[in-house]
Amino acid sequence: MSATGARVVLGVTGSIAAHRAIDVASRLTQAGVEVRVVMTADAQQFVTPLPFKTLSRGPVITGLYDEEEGWKPSHIRLADEADLVLVAPATANTLAKMAMGLADDALGCVLLALNPGTPVLVAPAMNGKMWMHPATRQNVALLGSRGVEFLGPEEGLLSCGYEGMGRMLAVEQVVERVMAVLEGRRKVG
Protein backbone atom coordinates (compact mmCIF):
# COMPACT_ATOMS: atom_id res chain seq x y z
CA MET A 1 0.00 0.00 0.00
CA SER A 2 1.62 3.27 -1.09
CA ALA A 3 0.26 6.77 -0.86
CA THR A 4 3.61 8.51 -0.67
CA GLY A 5 3.22 12.25 -0.81
CA ALA A 6 -0.53 12.25 -0.18
CA ARG A 7 -1.69 14.92 2.24
CA VAL A 8 -4.09 13.99 5.01
CA VAL A 9 -5.57 16.39 7.52
CA LEU A 10 -6.19 14.51 10.77
CA GLY A 11 -8.83 16.20 12.90
CA VAL A 12 -8.64 15.12 16.54
CA THR A 13 -11.58 15.89 18.81
CA GLY A 14 -12.33 15.65 22.53
CA SER A 15 -12.69 11.98 23.33
CA ILE A 16 -10.71 9.54 25.45
CA ALA A 17 -10.04 7.82 22.11
CA ALA A 18 -7.86 10.79 21.12
CA HIS A 19 -4.85 8.76 22.28
CA ARG A 20 -5.56 6.33 19.42
CA ALA A 21 -5.23 9.19 16.93
CA ILE A 22 -1.55 9.39 17.88
CA ASP A 23 -1.10 5.87 16.49
CA VAL A 24 -3.09 6.80 13.38
CA ALA A 25 -0.79 9.77 12.75
CA SER A 26 2.31 7.64 13.29
CA ARG A 27 1.22 4.82 10.98
CA LEU A 28 0.13 7.15 8.20
CA THR A 29 3.42 9.05 8.41
CA GLN A 30 5.37 5.77 8.31
CA ALA A 31 3.43 4.87 5.15
CA GLY A 32 4.72 8.03 3.47
CA VAL A 33 1.62 10.16 3.98
CA GLU A 34 2.07 13.83 4.88
CA VAL A 35 -0.12 14.21 7.98
CA ARG A 36 -1.22 17.61 9.23
CA VAL A 37 -2.99 17.51 12.57
CA VAL A 38 -5.76 19.87 13.68
CA MET A 39 -6.76 19.49 17.33
CA THR A 40 -9.87 20.94 18.92
CA ALA A 41 -9.62 22.58 22.32
CA ASP A 42 -11.46 19.60 23.82
CA ALA A 43 -8.98 17.16 22.27
CA GLN A 44 -6.22 18.95 24.17
CA GLN A 45 -7.91 17.94 27.42
CA PHE A 46 -7.02 14.33 26.58
CA VAL A 47 -3.71 14.53 24.66
CA THR A 48 -1.15 17.21 23.93
CA PRO A 49 0.06 18.41 20.52
CA LEU A 50 3.63 17.20 21.18
CA PRO A 51 3.24 13.53 20.18
CA PHE A 52 1.40 14.55 17.01
CA LYS A 53 4.06 17.12 16.15
CA THR A 54 6.84 14.59 16.73
CA LEU A 55 5.24 11.65 14.93
CA SER A 56 3.81 13.59 11.98
CA ARG A 57 6.98 15.67 11.69
CA GLY A 58 4.94 18.81 11.22
CA PRO A 59 3.18 21.62 13.03
CA VAL A 60 -0.09 21.00 14.84
CA ILE A 61 -2.95 23.47 14.50
CA THR A 62 -4.63 23.96 17.88
CA GLY A 63 -6.57 27.13 17.24
CA LEU A 64 -8.27 29.01 14.46
CA TYR A 65 -5.67 31.76 14.57
CA ASP A 66 -2.56 29.56 14.63
CA GLU A 67 -0.44 30.81 11.78
CA GLU A 68 2.70 29.43 10.27
CA GLU A 69 4.84 31.26 7.76
CA GLY A 70 3.20 33.00 4.85
CA TRP A 71 0.05 35.03 4.41
CA LYS A 72 -2.63 32.40 3.84
CA PRO A 73 -4.61 31.33 6.95
CA SER A 74 -3.57 27.84 8.06
CA HIS A 75 -7.07 26.41 7.87
CA ILE A 76 -7.47 27.57 4.26
CA ARG A 77 -4.03 26.28 3.26
CA LEU A 78 -4.76 22.89 4.85
CA ALA A 79 -8.14 22.68 3.12
CA ASP A 80 -6.60 23.60 -0.24
CA GLU A 81 -3.82 21.02 0.05
CA ALA A 82 -5.77 18.11 1.57
CA ASP A 83 -6.14 14.91 -0.43
CA LEU A 84 -8.33 13.55 2.38
CA VAL A 85 -9.61 14.61 5.80
CA LEU A 86 -9.90 12.08 8.61
CA VAL A 87 -11.69 13.05 11.82
CA ALA A 88 -10.62 10.51 14.43
CA PRO A 89 -12.00 10.36 16.98
CA ALA A 90 -15.21 12.19 16.12
CA THR A 91 -17.46 13.08 19.04
CA ALA A 92 -21.23 13.56 18.94
CA ASN A 93 -20.57 17.29 19.30
CA THR A 94 -18.25 17.29 16.29
CA LEU A 95 -20.76 15.36 14.18
CA ALA A 96 -23.46 17.89 15.10
CA LYS A 97 -21.18 20.81 14.22
CA MET A 98 -20.25 19.19 10.91
CA ALA A 99 -23.92 18.58 10.08
CA MET A 100 -24.78 22.20 10.86
CA GLY A 101 -21.77 23.56 8.97
CA LEU A 102 -20.40 25.35 12.02
CA ALA A 103 -16.96 26.88 11.63
CA ASP A 104 -16.16 28.06 15.14
CA ASP A 105 -12.75 26.36 15.29
CA ALA A 106 -9.92 25.43 12.93
CA LEU A 107 -11.29 21.96 12.20
CA GLY A 108 -14.74 23.30 11.29
CA CYS A 109 -13.17 25.89 8.99
CA VAL A 110 -10.99 23.27 7.27
CA LEU A 111 -14.03 21.08 6.67
CA LEU A 112 -16.07 23.92 5.18
CA ALA A 113 -13.22 25.17 2.99
CA LEU A 114 -12.39 21.79 1.40
CA ASN A 115 -12.24 21.50 -2.35
CA PRO A 116 -15.32 19.71 -3.73
CA GLY A 117 -14.75 15.97 -3.93
CA THR A 118 -12.15 15.80 -1.17
CA PRO A 119 -12.97 12.65 0.80
CA VAL A 120 -13.96 13.09 4.44
CA LEU A 121 -13.71 10.01 6.65
CA VAL A 122 -15.01 10.00 10.22
CA ALA A 123 -14.21 7.53 13.00
CA PRO A 124 -16.82 8.17 15.71
CA ALA A 125 -16.15 7.51 19.39
CA MET A 126 -18.75 8.17 22.07
CA ASN A 127 -21.08 6.67 24.64
CA GLY A 128 -23.49 4.17 23.07
CA LYS A 129 -26.57 6.14 24.12
CA MET A 130 -25.10 9.24 22.47
CA TRP A 131 -24.43 7.26 19.27
CA MET A 132 -28.01 5.92 19.21
CA HIS A 133 -29.67 9.24 20.10
CA PRO A 134 -32.05 10.41 17.34
CA ALA A 135 -30.14 13.69 16.93
CA THR A 136 -26.87 11.84 16.33
CA ARG A 137 -28.56 9.35 13.98
CA GLN A 138 -30.00 12.28 12.01
CA ASN A 139 -26.61 14.00 11.85
CA VAL A 140 -24.96 10.77 10.66
CA ALA A 141 -27.61 10.34 7.94
CA LEU A 142 -27.21 13.95 6.80
CA LEU A 143 -23.43 13.73 6.69
CA GLY A 144 -23.63 10.41 4.85
CA SER A 145 -25.89 12.02 2.24
CA ARG A 146 -23.16 14.62 1.72
CA GLY A 147 -20.57 11.92 1.06
CA VAL A 148 -18.95 11.64 4.48
CA GLU A 149 -17.79 8.06 5.05
CA PHE A 150 -18.16 6.61 8.54
CA LEU A 151 -15.55 4.18 9.85
CA GLY A 152 -17.37 2.50 12.71
CA PRO A 153 -18.02 2.81 15.51
CA GLU A 154 -17.83 -0.73 16.81
CA GLU A 155 -19.16 -2.54 19.83
CA GLY A 156 -17.06 -3.08 22.91
CA LEU A 157 -16.22 -1.82 26.36
CA LEU A 158 -16.58 1.95 26.41
CA SER A 159 -14.59 4.33 28.59
CA CYS A 160 -17.78 5.23 30.49
CA GLY A 161 -17.92 1.64 31.77
CA TYR A 162 -20.80 0.54 29.52
CA GLU A 163 -20.58 -2.10 26.83
CA GLY A 164 -22.10 -1.31 23.47
CA MET A 165 -21.79 0.54 20.20
CA GLY A 166 -19.62 3.65 20.28
CA ARG A 167 -16.03 2.45 20.45
CA MET A 168 -13.66 3.94 17.86
CA LEU A 169 -12.74 1.49 15.12
CA ALA A 170 -9.34 -0.17 15.54
CA VAL A 171 -6.38 1.95 14.43
CA GLU A 172 -5.33 -0.67 11.86
CA GLN A 173 -8.76 -0.60 10.22
CA VAL A 174 -8.86 3.20 10.13
CA VAL A 175 -5.40 3.42 8.56
CA GLU A 176 -6.20 0.65 6.08
CA ARG A 177 -9.32 2.48 4.87
CA VAL A 178 -7.52 5.83 4.59
CA MET A 179 -4.80 4.20 2.51
CA ALA A 180 -7.36 2.46 0.28
CA VAL A 181 -9.18 5.74 -0.39
CA LEU A 182 -5.90 7.52 -1.16
CA GLU A 183 -4.88 4.72 -3.52
CA GLY A 184 -8.25 4.92 -5.25
CA ARG A 185 -7.82 8.65 -5.75
CA ARG A 186 -4.31 8.15 -7.18
CA LYS A 187 -5.63 5.66 -9.75
CA VAL A 188 -8.45 7.99 -10.78
CA GLY A 189 -6.32 11.15 -10.79
- Annotated catalytic residues are 160
Q: 131 to each of 60, 122, 136, 146, 171, how far by Cα in Å?
A: 28, 13, 6, 19, 19
- Of 77, 43, 39, nearest in space to 60 by CA: 39
Residue type, 186: R
Which H, E and C letters describe 59-123, residue by residue?
A: CEECCCCCCCCCCCCHHHHHHHHCCEEEEEEECHHHHHHHHHCCCCCHHHHHHHHCCCCCCEEEE
Amino acid, res. 112: L
